[in-house]
Amino acid sequence: MSKIKMNATTCDLVSVLKLDDIKMLQQINSPALTIRDKDGNCIFKLLAAGYDSVTADACTFSQKDMEGYAVMSFPIDTTKGQAEIYEDLYRRIGSVKGYLDQIEPVAVSAVQTESERKAAFIAELTGTQTETAAAE
């Protein structure tokens, strides 16, 4: 699940996905980054691009923390009281965090699957398949 971290002037939304993994899934398995309704219409999608953005139906990450995890920072209006700050942050990122928490388990699994496919592909290219893989 994504995390929320607060400091004196910003609130950071940190994904369990690395920014590079989001970019990779966008290219080869974009459905893993999308929530759809029963009719197949997109309700929400996770993206990586050159700018941070939050809309009613998408969250776009552009930054990563020191470990590579996707992170988005929201400024805090320090002139407001604590209750107002929390209410403001909830309005701005509450639903996004909820959608992100739904997408992340599927996306993490998709990243693992793609990593395994890539390893098998490279092993086949280089002729370094394991005995088990070669026997199949």
Secondary structure (3-state) at 1: coil
**What total number of domains does the chain contain?**
1
Evaluate whether residue 118 is within a structural domain: no
Task: Locate the DSSP E strands across 57-103.
Answer: 58-61, 63-64, 69-75
Task: Report the pLDDT value the prediction gives residue 87, as an integer from 0 to 100.
Answer: 94
Domain residue limits at 84: 3-106
pLDDT at 131: 52
Q: Measure the CA angle with vertex 82, ends 76 and 87; round to 5°.
A: 70
CA-to-CA separations, 20 to 37, 111, 125, in angstroms, rounded: 27, 10, 24
Tell me whether residue 21 is in a domain: yes
For residue 68, being part of any structural domain is answered with: yes
Q: Is residue 129 one of the residues assigned to a domain?
A: no
The one-digit pLDDT tens for each residue of the chain (136 residues) are: 899 999 889 999 999 999 999 999 999 999 999 999 999 999 999 999 988 988 889 999 999 999 999 999 999 999 999 999 999 999 989 989 999 999 999 999 999 998 898 888 898 898 886 555 555 5
**Cα 116 from chain centroid?**
19
Note whether residue 11 is domain-resident. yes
Q: Decide if 100 is inside a domain.
A: yes
* pLDDT at site 70: 96
pLDDT recorded at residue 28: 92
